[in-house]
Amino acid sequence: LLAACPPRDQRNRFAMASNQVPAELMGCRDSDIDFDEDVPKELVEIDTAAEEAPPQEPTAPEPTVMDQLAIFLSEQRATSAEMLRAVPAEKVLERCGTHLWSQKRSTSQKAELFEHSKPVTSIDEFWSHSWHGRQRWKVWCLLYVKNAWPALFVSTATAALVALLFAFELLPGWVKTSNYAPPEPHAYGAWGCWTGVLTYLLMIILWKPRADVFVDLFCIHQANPRLKAEGLLSIGAILKNSESMLLLWDDTYLKRLWCVFELA
């Protein structure tokens, strides 16, 4: 407006916006107007306000339930402190890990398994696995990984002790002629070998590892739908508060969505 006389279509638009536009402005020429005196102040204010008005940003759509669930999982928060739970590893592996062999359990049995877990502030180890793999191989893998070192030390010490007792002739054996020169008779016995093997197997099965671990069968309620949903939503917080992860791999592992999420 301050640069030139407005075209006729703009003058009509401004006239509709304000009824104070003088009639002589409707047919004016550039030389007929003194803009400092003839242009109404209201027109200048209207045009300036229109130029200074900030553009309105489009409002974001309301997040859906799935969006809210995804955000909650990505933030790795627990629905409550009670959902951060762990179970002693010895409880999972007792009786050769029979709890992990079968998935057919009654409601009371599922609730009883959940009672073995307890709320914690940190978890020693997160056991990630697929329920579609071979459960018995999984159990033997766990027994070996958790109990192999104690079994090795105890069996070696036992075999050495028995061999020493045999050397002092405190254990019976048999006399056999040596196949090496000179061909003299020597006492032989399999006490050390068999004692070491037997002790190793017993320790693999019976040793009680001391660690608080997360196993979904024990730490997520399998019978109560509400507690089960809260446990699944808290899986991010459980992973975040775990010191390490033990991944029990099989051919079905990467075909399960929860396994992929835990690994990621």
Tens digit of pLDDT at every position of the chain (264 positions): 344 445 555 545 544 444 554 555 455 555 555 545 555 555 555 555 555 556 677 777 888 989 998 898 889 999 999 999 999 999 999 988 888 887 788 889 999 999 999 999 999 999 999 988 888 899 999 999 999 999 999 999 999 999 999 888 888 877 777 776 567 777 778 888 999 999 999 999 999 999 999 999 999 999 999 999 999 999 999 999 999 999 999 999 999 998 999 999
For residue 76, the 8-state DSSP code is T
The 8-class DSSP code of residue 19 comes to: T
User: CA–CA distance from 246 to each of 45, 48, 107, 175 (Å)?
Assistant: 71, 67, 28, 50
Token output for 220? 């997520």
User: 117: Cβ–Cβ under 8 A, 6 or more apart, which residues?
Assistant: 85, 86, 87, 218, 219
Q: Give yes or no for a cis peptide into 182 (omega within 30° of 0).
A: yes
DSSP code for 243: S
Report how far residue 211's alpha carbon sits from residue 123's, in angstroms, rounded to the nearest whole number.
Answer: 9
The pTM of the whole model exceeds 0.85? no
